[in-house]
């Protein structure tokens, strides 16, 4: 996992780096036992609910990843791995820290398989970027200060993917 974090913070990992998701989905649930108490109940693997649901895109996950990449997003190697209440596991973790998002903030974008395409979830939060290293911002990130699903949805729909075809 340390190698993934190092690569992810030194390079922009795009749609072809699917191996990152394999490492994250394997390692993070194991590390969660250690990280959950240290991070104060946040942890590295947890369940999210419908409050973060933006909608479903009429495209498979690979196509959505290419859309996110073209919009200036990159794989979010530091994102906790998430599951939905119905047991579906996250298939992609992406982050946006570009125009329209204040310095020190990010939009965390999570992708899940859906019967009619790709279910997309998002929230706006303090940045988890390690470069530049800002301990105060990172601390706010892991404590959930400013966590805002509605703002994440707004930024995703209006700024990041304004031309996307949402099914629901």
Does a structural domain hold residue 165? Answer: no
Does a structural domain hold residue 54? Answer: yes
Count the domains in the chain.
1
Percent of the chain with pLDDT over 90: 48
Q: Looking at the predicted structure, is the pLDDT value of residue 4 above 50?
A: no
Q: Looking at the predicted structure, is the pLDDT value of residue 119 above 60?
A: yes
Does a structural domain hold residue 81? Answer: yes
Does a structural domain hold residue 167? Answer: no
Does a structural domain hold residue 168? Answer: no
Does a structural domain hold residue 136? Answer: yes
Tens digit of pLDDT for each residue in 24-70? Answer: 666 655 555 555 555 555 555 678 999 999 999 999 999 999 999 99
3-class SS at 92?
A: strand
- Tell me the C-alpha distance between 119 and 111, whole Å: 6
Higher pLDDT, 22 or 92: 92
Residue 102: CB atoms within 10 A of its CB come to 10
- Tell me the C-alpha distance between 134 and 156, whole Å: 25
Q: For residue 53, what are the domain limits?
A: 2-160
Q: pTM of the full predicted structure?
A: 0.79
First-to-final CA distance of the chain: 35
Q: Looking at the predicted structure, is the pLDDT value of residue 9 above 80?
A: no
Does a structural domain hold residue 49? Answer: yes
Does a structural domain hold residue 166? Answer: no
Residue 13: CB atoms within 10 A of its CB come to 20
Tens digit of pLDDT for each residue in 88-111? Answer: 999 999 999 999 999 889 999 999
Tokens of 104: 């020190």
3-class SS at 135?
A: helix
């Amino acid at each position: 996992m340390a190698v993934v974090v190092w690569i992810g913070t030194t390079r922009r990992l795009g749609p072809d780096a699917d191996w990152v998701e394999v490492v994250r989905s394997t390692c993070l649930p194991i590390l969660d036992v250690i990280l959950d108490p240290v991070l104060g109940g946040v942890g590295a693997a947890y369940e999210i609910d419908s409050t973060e649901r933006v909608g479903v895109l009429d495209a498979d996950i690979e196509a959505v990843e290419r859309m996110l990449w073209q919009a200036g997003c990159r794989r979010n190697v530091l994102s906790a791995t998430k599951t939905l209440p119905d047991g579906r596991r996250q298939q992609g973790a992406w982050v946006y820290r570009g125009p329209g998002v204040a310095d020190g903030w990010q939009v965390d974008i999570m992708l899940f398989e859906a019967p009619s395409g790709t279910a997309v979830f998002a929230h706006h939060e303090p940045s988890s970027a390690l470069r530049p290293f800002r301990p105060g911002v990172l601390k706010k990130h892991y404590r959930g200060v400013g966590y805002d699903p509605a703002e994440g949805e707004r930024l995703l729909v209006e700024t990041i993917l304004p031309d996307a075809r949402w099914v629901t």
